[in-house]
């Protein structure tokens, strides 16, 4: 009779190089994450902004194809992007770009082995959020001044 309570436990058992038995950890899933923690929220937001970047690339491809197709299609895209909905989308994509960039730099810092202690994790998380807001507004101020 086996001492395992669940058949899935068999795939969690491994051996170290010296032959000793070790239990492998389970990967966390959404039920494990506390959405009110800054670390979980920022991790999920980083993934969501990656998806949003994909949508932004489709809009960029539409804009480039319209520019290549001629003045009529390009005017249509320009009309949409200059509408309220288009400007809101462009503003959101700017925030997505800055957030994903700053969170990516934070991940690179982690890959180098820095910033794993909780105070630094929370401090860099807040810096990503504040930096996203400041850089998004600064970008749009520069755009508005350049257009004006």
Binding site listing for heme: 100
Handedness of CA 35, 45, 139, 114 (dihedral sign): positive
Q: Locate 132 and state its tokens.
A: 């996203």
Residue 2: Cβ within 10 Å count: 7
Neighbours of 31 (CB within 10 A): 5
- Cβ(98)–Cβ(131) below 8 Å: yes
- Extract the annotated binding site: 100
Taking alpha carbons only, the member of 44, 60, 25 closest to residue 100 is 44
Structure tokens at 59: 């809009």
Q: Which of 86, 104, 111 is closest to 45 using CA atoms?
A: 104
């Amino acid at each position: 009779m086996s001492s395992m309570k669940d058949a899935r436990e068999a795939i969690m058992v491994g051996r170290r190089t010296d032959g000793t038995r070790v239990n492998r950890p389970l990967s966390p899933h959404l039920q494990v994450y506390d959405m009110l923690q800054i670390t979980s929220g920022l991790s999920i937001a980083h993934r969501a902004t990656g998806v949003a970047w994909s949508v932004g690339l489709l809009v960029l491809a539409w804009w480039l194809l319209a520019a290549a197709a001629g003045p009529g299609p390009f005017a249509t895209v320009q009309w949409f992007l200059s509408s309220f909905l288009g400007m809101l989308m462009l503003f959101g994509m700017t925030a997505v770009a800055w957030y994903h960039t700053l969170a990516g730099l934070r991940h690179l810092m982690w890959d180098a082995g820095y910033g794993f202690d909780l105070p630094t994790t929370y401090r860099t998380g807040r810096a990503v959020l504040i930096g996203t807001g400041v850089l998004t507004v600064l970008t749009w101020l520069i755009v508005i001044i350049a257009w004006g």
